[in-house]
């Protein structure tokens, strides 16, 4: 028999974490954190609105007398009607306390703040769950708009307002800008700016406050951008104080490894590649550690530039290492570099965490002794890896790695020198983003595709037309071509009605029995993954069903069709990356985006942009507008402080002004720079190391 004394007991309520812990989760620790904890919106309780002047869906403060009150016990509902000299208003509560019943006794005069809506029954308006209290003759209306703050678990607005008021008393909001600087920038004082946001006057422009375009918001955004630019500039200056290997162009260029490699290539560099190569050489000829990002559209030829840079380091007696975020991408690089440089007697070593013990030990020994180029994943930065003399670190898809990972790869070598760093990105970064977040980097752009690359035809269809698409693919495969079919999930999900890769694979294999169809995804073992990719590259497999593991790096010139199922679930840049897997050979290529019937407005806009644009820089700019900077920079762990208030797209003018003043302060050794940065970035030292 069950223990009846405990069987009917309710489960114990989960204990709420201490207040301090909950506040720290919100980023609230020091006084400046509270000063910069700014309102989400405002309530206007500075004036009473007559009932006959109420507007639907516009919050208002109303004063009136309760003329009727009725509690429906069965429906658990409290209804009341209040009147003023101009009309009546219905009030309803579906959750209420005994005190609410007491407040809405007939004859009581009450103050209500809420959002009026057309009454469910009868004429006029009703308010659901308005903020309510007794109206007293001595009651004074608020002098400013009431701020509503972001709040965490169990943290009340009233408590937050009082705590922020306390912070105002405890902090001397000293303005670091001079009167002349404020006048030139046409900005208010810092104290006035912050006060106007926390405690706006009754006549303040509410639209400007909500849109963060008021003079106060402009000043706050400028200060945030200024702090960011100071950090970027300090980071660059710190890097310039370190020493890197000075690499020298060999006198006999033709017989150098770099020269032989260049001459052995079966294609000519584009003008953009030649320009970027010259920029890289100039950086590596300096004793200042190179910190260069090479960005270019898919297929623009970044890998060969990276291989040239590695050859240049080897010519000078140094090792080069290339780290990629996934095994598939790392192996693509390894095979390509092996194909290019092994015939020139370059020792290329492969290192990944999934190597067998014997293979791993052999790789580690080679890295410490005679390896020229080491290619791999995160395994390159394990403690057991001891480089002989690393002179160049190459990081592909750099936004997928955190600061610590990038730092580990370019740690000071045995000669006391920091290796040069070359980062690659197939996601072109918009100018405003580069200016704001990447101003401590040198950015090189390959903005030209190799000649002969044919444009890819992009088409968009409803998912219900899948059978037609399969028939078109059958025609393409029968001509000896190959295809990709990409899905957003590995297995079926009850939460998302998306076609899983496993289900899609079974459907397609059944629909195309005359062709070899295979499935690849992140859960496939490395050994099987490699075997599947080898069969696809050789042409043995005609169609590859996949998740986004093939998003970057996969190069199969014979593949001419890319189908992206539930394309509405992918970001613009990701769609563009997937499209870039085809169009690499001489055949005409197609990208087909299939979407479900539940398509949001944003989803429609994204697919329209994708269909109409093939330029990666246009795609990147549109993606920035739709999704914000996170897509380009990775998570906050990337070390780049994402902005809380400023918008790098709409506030580009402020970015320019902030950068100019930040550089001026630092060049003049102005102590204000350090103080200002400390207000905004607590982990300043960690960021400077990045």
* Widest pairwise Cα distance in the chain: 101
pLDDT in tens, 439-470: 667 889 888 877 767 788 999 999 889 999 99
Radius of gyration of the chain (CA): 32
Residue 413 has a pLDDT of 67
Given a contact cutoff of 8 angstroms between Cβ atoms, the answer to whether 392 and 284 are in contact is yes
Between 207 and 372, where is the model more confident? 372
Helix (H, G, I), strand (E, B) or coil at 241: coil
Give the C-alpha separation, 173 to 197, whole Å. 14
Given a contact cutoff of 8 angstroms between Cβ atoms, the answer to whether 519 and 502 are in contact is yes
Given a contact cutoff of 8 angstroms between Cβ atoms, the answer to whether 551 and 574 are in contact is yes
CA-angle at 561, arms to 555 and 564, nearest 5°? 95
Between 635 and 229, where is the model more confident? 229
pLDDT level of residue 671 (50, 70, 90 thresholds): very high
Mark out the alpha helices in 443-571 (DSSP H runs).
466-478, 501-511, 526-538
Is pLDDT of 677 > 90?
A: no
Arithmetic mean of pLDDT, 261-290: 93
pLDDT level of residue 638 (50, 70, 90 thresholds): very low
Instruction: Please name every residue paired with 461 in a beta bridge, in sequence order, or none if there are none.
Output: 594
pLDDT level of residue 88 (50, 70, 90 thresholds): very high
Residue 492 has a pLDDT of 58
Lowest mean pLDDT among 496-500, 523-527, 677-681: 496-500
Residue 13 has a pLDDT of 58
Helix (H, G, I), strand (E, B) or coil at 80: strand
Is pLDDT of 480 > 50?
A: yes
Is pLDDT of 5 > 90?
A: no
Arithmetic mean of pLDDT, 86-96: 90
Give the C-alpha separation, 107 to 98, whole Å. 17
- By CB neighbour count within 10 A (0-12 exposed, 13-18 middle, 19+ buried), where does 114 fall? buried
pLDDT level of residue 496 (50, 70, 90 thresholds): low
- Is the four-CA dihedral 266, 396, 603, 548 of positive or negative sign? positive
pLDDT level of residue 14 (50, 70, 90 thresholds): low
Residue 473 has a pLDDT of 94
Residue 318 has a pLDDT of 95
Is pLDDT of 690 > 70?
A: no
pLDDT in tens, 302-324: 999 999 999 999 999 999 999 98
pLDDT in tens, 350-362: 998 888 889 999 9
Arithmetic mean of pLDDT, 537-545: 93
Helix (H, G, I), strand (E, B) or coil at 69: strand
Residue 153 has a pLDDT of 76
Give the C-alpha separation, 206 to 193, whole Å. 15
Share of the chain above pLDDT 70, in %: 87
Report helix angle 466-478 to 501-511, nearest 10.
60
Mark out the alpha helices in 147-189 (DSSP H runs).
157-170, 179-185
Arithmetic mean of pLDDT, 381-389: 89
Element (H, E) at 148: strand 146-148
DSSP state of 555: -
Helix (H, G, I), strand (E, B) or coil at 518: strand
pLDDT in tens, 393-436: 998 875 555 545 555 676 766 677 889 999 888 766 666 566 55
Is pLDDT of 636 > 50?
A: no
Residue 593 has a pLDDT of 94
Element (H, E) at 368: helix 357-369
- By CB neighbour count within 10 A (0-12 exposed, 13-18 middle, 19+ buried), where does 176 fall? middle
User: Within 10 Å of residue 216's Cβ, how many Cβ atoms?
Assistant: 25
Give the C-alpha separation, 144 to 360, whole Å. 68
What strands, in cross-sheet order, belong to the sheet with 291-296? 348-351, 373-376, 319-323, 390-396, 420-425, 291-296, 442-446
Arithmetic mean of pLDDT, 59-87: 89
Structural domains of the chain ordered from first start = 19-26+32-41+148-211 (no CATH), 47-141 (2.40.50.140), 253-446 (3.40.50.300), 456-613 (3.40.50.300)
- Give the closest residue to 319 by CA, choosing from 368, 286, 362: 368
Give the C-alpha separation, 463 to 575, whole Å. 16
What strands, in cross-sheet order, belong to the sheet with 77-83? 117-118, 125-128, 88-93, 77-83, 60-72, 109-114, 131-134
- Token pair in block for residue 28: 């609230």
DSSP state of 683: T
Residue 591 has a pLDDT of 95
What residue has token string 């400013």?
144
Instruction: Give me the chain's average pLDDT, please.
Output: 84
Arithmetic mean of pLDDT, 526-537: 86
Give the C-alpha separation, 520 to 384, whole Å. 31
* Nearby residues of 109 by Cβ (< 8 Å), 6 or more positions away: 63, 64, 65, 66, 134, 135
* Nearby residues of 414 by Cβ (< 8 Å), 6 or more positions away: 388, 389
User: What 3 state SS string does 402-460 have?
Assistant: CHHHHHHHCCCCCCCCCCEEEEEECCCCCHHHHHHHCCCCEEEEECCCCCCCCCEEEEE
Give the C-alpha separation, 151 to 41, whole Å. 12
User: Within 10 Å of residue 688's Cβ, how many Cβ atoms?
Assistant: 19
Residue 350 has a pLDDT of 94
Instruction: Please name every residue paired with 420 in a beta bridge, in sequence order, or none if there are none.
Output: 392
Is pLDDT of 285 > 60?
A: yes
Is pLDDT of 378 > 70?
A: yes
Rank 406-420, 529-543, 576-590, 613-627 by mean pLDDT and report only the highest: 529-543
pLDDT in tens, 215-255: 999 999 999 989 888 888 887 787 778 899 999 988 788 88
Residue 553 has a pLDDT of 52
Q: Output phi, psi for 292, to 5 deg.
A: -115, 135
What strands, in cross-sheet order, belong to the sheet with 456-462? 456-462, 589-595, 559-564, 482-486, 543-546, 517-520
- 355 half-sphere exposure, CB direction, 13 A CA radius: 20
Share of the chain above pLDDT 90, in %: 43
Q: Output phi, psi for 580, to 5 deg.
A: -70, -5
pLDDT level of residue 639 (50, 70, 90 thresholds): very low
Residue 2 has a pLDDT of 46
- Is the four-CA dihedral 422, 425, 428, 431 of positive or negative sign? negative
Given a contact cutoff of 8 angstroms between Cβ atoms, the answer to whether 658 and 225 are in contact is yes
For residue 305, give Cα distances in angstroms to 255, 270, 309.
19, 11, 6
């Amino acid at each position: 028999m069950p223990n009846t004394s405990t069987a009917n007991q309710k489960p114990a309520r989960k204990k709420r974490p201490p207040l301090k812990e909950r506040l720290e989760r919100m980023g609230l620790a020091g006084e400046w954190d509270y000063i910069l904890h700014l309102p989400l919106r405002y309530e206007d309780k500075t004036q009473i609105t007559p009932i006959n002047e109420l507007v639907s869906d516009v919050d208002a403060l109303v004063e009136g007398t309760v003329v009727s009150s009725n509690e429906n016990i069965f429906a658990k509902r409290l209804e009341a009607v209040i009147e003023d000299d101009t009309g009546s208003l219905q009030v309803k509560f579906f959750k209420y306390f005994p005190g609410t019943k007491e407040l809405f006794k007939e004859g009581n005069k009450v103050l209500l703040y809420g959002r009026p809506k057309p009454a469910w029954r009868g004429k006029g308006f009703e308010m659901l769950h308005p903020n309510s209290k007794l109206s007293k003759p001595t009651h004074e209306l608020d002098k400013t708009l009431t701020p509503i703050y972001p709040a965490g678990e169990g943290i009340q607005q009233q408590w937050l307002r009082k705590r922020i008021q306390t912070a105002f008393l405890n902090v001397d909001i000293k303005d670091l800008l001079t009167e002349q600087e404020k006048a030139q920038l046409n900005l208010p004082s810092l104290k006035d700016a912050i006060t106007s946001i926390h405690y706006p006057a009754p006549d303040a422009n509410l639209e400007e406050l909500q849109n963060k375009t008021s003079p106060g918001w402009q000043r706050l955004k400028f200060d945030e951008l200024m702090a960011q630019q100071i950090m970027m500039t300090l980071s660059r200056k710190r890097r310039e104080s370190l020493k890197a290997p000075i690499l020298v162009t060999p006198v006999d260029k033709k017989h150098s490894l770099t020269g032989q490699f260049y001459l052995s290539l079966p294609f000519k560099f584009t003008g953009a590649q030649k320009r970027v190569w010259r920029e890289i050489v100039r950086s590596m000829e300096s004793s200042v550690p190179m910190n260069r990002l090479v960005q270019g559209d898919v297929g623009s030829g970044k890998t060969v530039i990276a291989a040239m840079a590695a050859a240049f380091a080897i010519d000078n007696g140094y090792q080069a290492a290339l780290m990629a975020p996934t095994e598939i991408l790392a192996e693509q690089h390894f095979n390509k570099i092996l194909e290019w440089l092994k015939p020139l007697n370059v020792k290329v070593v492969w290192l990944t965490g999934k190597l067998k013990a014997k293979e791993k030990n052999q790789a580690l020994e080679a890295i410490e002794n005679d390896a020229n180029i080491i290619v791999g994943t995160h395994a390159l930065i394990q403690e057991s890896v001891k480089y002989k003399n690393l002179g160049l670190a190459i990081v592909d898809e750099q936004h997928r790695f955190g600061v610590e990972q990038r730092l580990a790869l370019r740690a000071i070598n045995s000669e006391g020198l920091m290796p040069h760093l070359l980062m690659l990105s197939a996601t072109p970064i918009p100018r405003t983003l580069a200016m704001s977040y990447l101003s401590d980097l040198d950015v090189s752009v390959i903005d030209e595709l190799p000649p002969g690359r044919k444009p890819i035809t992009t088409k968009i269809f409803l998912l219900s037309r899948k059978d037609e698409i399969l028939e078109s693919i059958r025609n393409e495969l029968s001509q000896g071509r190959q295809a990709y079919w990409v899905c957003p999930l590995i297995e079926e999900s009850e939460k998302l009605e998306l076609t899983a890769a496993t289900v899609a694979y079974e459907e397609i294999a059944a629909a195309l029995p005359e062709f070899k169809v295979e499935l690849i995804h992140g859960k496939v073992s490395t050994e099987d993954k490699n075997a599947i990719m080898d069969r696809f590259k050789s042409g043995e497999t005609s169609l590859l069903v996949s998740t986004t593991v093939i998003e970057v790096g996969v190069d199969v010139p014979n593949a001419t069709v890319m189908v992206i199922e539930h394309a509405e679930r992918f970001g613009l840049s990701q769609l563009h990356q997937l499209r870039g897997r085809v169009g690499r050979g001489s055949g005409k290529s197609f990208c087909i985006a299939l979407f479900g019937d539940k398509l949001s407005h944003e989803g429609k806009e994204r697919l329209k942009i994708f269909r109409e644009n093939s330029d990666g820089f246009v795609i990147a700019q549109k993606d920035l507008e739709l999704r914000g900077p996170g897509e380009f920079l990775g998570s906050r762990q990337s070390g780049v402080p994402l902005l809380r208030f400023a918008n790098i797209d709409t506030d580009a003018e402020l970015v320019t002004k902030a950068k100019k003043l930040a550089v001026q302060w630092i060049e003049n050794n102005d102590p204000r720079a350090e103080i200002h940065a400390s207000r905004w970035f607590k982990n300043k030292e960690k960021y400077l190391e990045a």
